[in-house]
Chains A and B, each alone.
Chain A
Amino acid sequence: QVQLVESGGGVVQPGRSLRLSCAASGFTFSSYGMHWVRQAPGKGLEWVAVIAYDGSNKNYADSVKGRFTISRDNSKNTLYLQMNSLRAEDTAVYYCAKDAIAVRPGWFDPWGQGTLVTVSS
C-alpha cells in the first residue's frame, strides 16, 4: 500500500539548519507531485512547499521562501526539505503528502505520520 515515512526531525537552535526526509513506497513516486505541510503545536495546517513530479517546478509559502528548499531523488523514492535559518515559529510537526492524482494537482492523499521539529535555544 502507499506509504510515506518522514524522518529527520529534532531539536535545533534558532538560526541553524535541518534536513527532513520522506521515504515513499507503494506507488510510482516519479509520477506524482509532492508536498510538505506543517502544523504548529495546537494549531491548524499550513502548506509549506510543493515540487513537481520531475523536480522541474517548486513553490513555497511566503513564510519559508528563501529559507527552505524542497527537493526529490526519484531514484531513491525520497522527498527532502532543507530548512535553513530556522526560527522559533518554524516549530511544528512536518508532514509530507502526495498529490492524490498524478495528472491533476489539488488535494493530498495520503499523508505521512509526521516528524516534529522544535526550534529552541
Chain B
Amino acid sequence: DIQMTQSPSTLSASVGDRVTITCRASQSISRWLAWYQQKSGKAPNLLIYDASSLESGVPSRFSGSGSGTEFTLTISSLQPDDFATYYCQQYHIYPPYTFGQGTKLEIK
C-alpha cells in the first residue's frame, strides 16, 4: 500500500498569512493526488484534484503543486473560514485509496 505522510500535523497561523502544507507519498504517484478540507463536525470537501486542478467554486487563494512523491497545498492569504483540517489522498495505485493523517490549521 502507498503511505501518505503530511507535515506539519498542526500549523498555527494568522489571517492574511501564506501557508504551505506538504504531503509525501511512499512511492511515486505521478500527479494523482487530491486535497480536501474538513471543518469540525462536517464532511470533507474537495479542494484540488490531479495535484493542481482547482475544483469549481473553490477560492483561488488555494493552489496545489507537485508530482512524484512530494506535493504541496498553499493558501496564499489565510481567511477566517480556512481554519480547518486538510487531508491529501492518493489515487494512483488502488485499492486501497490512502489518505494522509491530516494537518490541523489553527489560529495563532
Contacts and interface: CB of A to CB of B under 8 A. Distances in A.
Interface of A: 35, 44-47, 50, 59-62, 95, 100, 105-114
Contact of A61 (B42, B44, B46, B95): B95
Contact of A100 (B32, B49, B95): B49
Given A44-B102, A100-B46, A105 B91 contact: yes
Interface of B: 32, 34, 36, 38, 42-46, 49, 55, 87, 89, 91, 94-102
Main secondary structure of the interface of A (DSSP, over half): strand
Contacts of B42: 113
Q: Which of A108, A112, A114 has the most CB of B within 10 A?
A: A108
16 contacts: A44-B87, A45-B44, A45-B99, A47-B98, A50-B94, A50-B95, A59-B95, A61-B95, A61-B96, A95-B43, A106-B34, A107-B46, A108-B34, A108-B46, A110-B45, A113-B43
A110 to B, nearest CB: 7
A106 B49 contact: yes
Contacts of A109: 46, 55
Contacts, number: 60
Contacts of A111: 43-45
Contact of A60 (B34, B44, B95): B95
A47 B43 contact: no
Contact of B32 (A45, A106, A114): A106
Nearest to A49: B95
A44 B101 contact: yes
Contact of A107 (B43, B89, B98, B100): B89
A47 B46 contact: no
Contacts of A108: 34, 44, 46, 89
